[in-house]
Chains A and B, each alone.
Chain A
């Protein structure tokens, strides 16, 4: 390397451009704008968002889309299978207003008799198909299909069918979605308010206050959730109010813990100290510095709370601790359908589908939001 000495005239100083160095080319985006840009790029989260908007739309307007009322009973039209115009021509969807049943017997004739008997023997509306001829050990299998709408001479369609009391399931399903969503949103909102206040106070003031508040939380966490909820339901009149109280009585704890942790971390950050040295009072520090920096996490946590609340409500209704009849919620609908799951599966399938969609959609949206709010994801 010694023989390679660069001569001085090879070095030309770059012309210094005053001001250019401080230029920023990226468009200025606030935290929320920036997060939204990232959320929009997340296909899963956007699908979740669209599904949720559709479900919310149906929960609001679904019950008014046909002439039936959610509580109007008519045993004449009990247990009608679902029938949807146009879609009824696609056989595998099973929404053509027919019920089918497969019967087995020694001979084809005997099996056919059984299949006819299953639907009351009205041969005009029942078609039978022989599935397998008897041979050796094999029994004969005959499928009987009845067009229930023709048999009962009902002209209108029940899109999701009717339940054992003849109530329209379409109306009840969306009514139930509405009630379930309402309960979950309200419970999540109350959780958020209590949790943020509790966690914020606990974290910000620290010391003895924090110590006492955290011990209270530990005691509450120590009691199994279900025990508390069952006791609450026993004391209170069953209904929407009591189920919301039951959901919130322990639901705010996770929010409180998250907020406390964040506040503990943030309150010793230098920007908070800087604000204090400028003479900012406590409420300004909380309002301008702490809350805006915790909001992202609060939103994410609330988004995860909502599906959990929906599920807990459904679960409580299913085990009989939830809403009293005749109020429809997704949980009570599933509970009703469960009784005759094998013969009339459609009664349970539709509310089960809706609750699954809601939970999946909320979860992937919340997941997308978590990624969108994470500053490390910024490009």
Chain B
């Protein structure tokens, strides 16, 4: 895996006004990079701003503050039409709810070909059909499915149609916004394996948003843990699972159930209490170990360093 970063996010903030004086800080100062060819897992509890982060990166929302650089270009900067189109082709998204992400009035062929139509990637109907058939095959569906409507498919099949739609414009970066949370466990593996295979074949980079830690560990190279709009810990997947430092990460890890009765009987859950933190100063995002970042104050920083050294 090369260490060339594809996406750089610096101090990204996304605040929503909910009233005259109340503001929800959905994303509050994010900093991280995503390297070319890797899968970056983003985890955290419901409502911590994971999806908002994804949607802000792809310009569905305008960022309140901060920058997103994609291939060195500012995503939120002013763009003319052709630049915007180029950007839209480079970055794509897979959505959470397979039942809401496909237009019920459109045929599968038209859903998948929508990107091609918008960007004028095909010259005639025959070519369009061929490309759609190729994409359907890529995601493991039948050619015959092109003439059908979304309601005729199961959740897993729909999600694969969603993936085919994203692939239609040949993106290099895909944001997967909880692509498997709405699926049955047996289907989750199907979709995740498909994504892994596509990554190998097409050299894709993923931002994988999820709250299922076991699945995230399986697919991700690096994992970032979010809590209330802030990144609290970021490390390689193995490192994070072995040496979690931030109490919130520990709490999350302790909540993973395993289908093993002996383990389950002895499993102890840590409850995370935000008031346990050192409040002498504003916490900052610091590199505790190599490529292992934690949100901490100076005191905690020393403490974590020692902790990491003893392992």
Contact = CB atoms under 8 A, between A and B. Distances in A.
Nearest to A24: B152
A interface bracket (residues with beta carbon within 8 Å of B): 20 to 34
Contacts of A22: 140-142, 145, 157
B157 to A, nearest CB: 7
A61 interface: no
B279 to A, nearest CB: 38
Contacts of A29: 149
Interface residues of B, number: 41
Interface string B86-121: 001101110111001111111100000011001100
Contacts of B91: 277
Task: Specify which of A31, A269, A278, A289 lies most central, judged by the most chain B CB atoms within 10 Å of its CB.
Answer: A278
A186 B105 CA distance: 28
A280 B100 contact: no
Contacts of A57: none
Contacts of A274: 93, 95, 101, 162, 165
B162 to A, nearest CB: 7
Contacts of A40: none
Nearest to A28: B148
Interface centre among A29, A273, A277, A289 (most CB of B within 10 A): A277
Contact of A26 (B93, B152, B162): B152
Contacts of A270: 95-97, 100-101
B185 interface: no
B95 A278 contact: no
A30 interface: yes
B140 A288 contact: no
B142 A293 contact: no
A22 B85 CA distance: 34
B149 A28 contact: yes
Interface string A288-300: 1100110000000
Interface of A: 19, 22-24, 26, 28-31, 269-271, 273-280, 284, 288-289, 292-293, 375, 378
6 contacts: A22-B157, A273-B95, A277-B60, A278-B165, A279-B88, A292-B103
Interface of B: 55, 58-60, 84-85, 88-89, 91-93, 95-97, 100-107, 114-115, 118-119, 140-142, 144-145, 147-149, 151-153, 157, 162, 165, 169
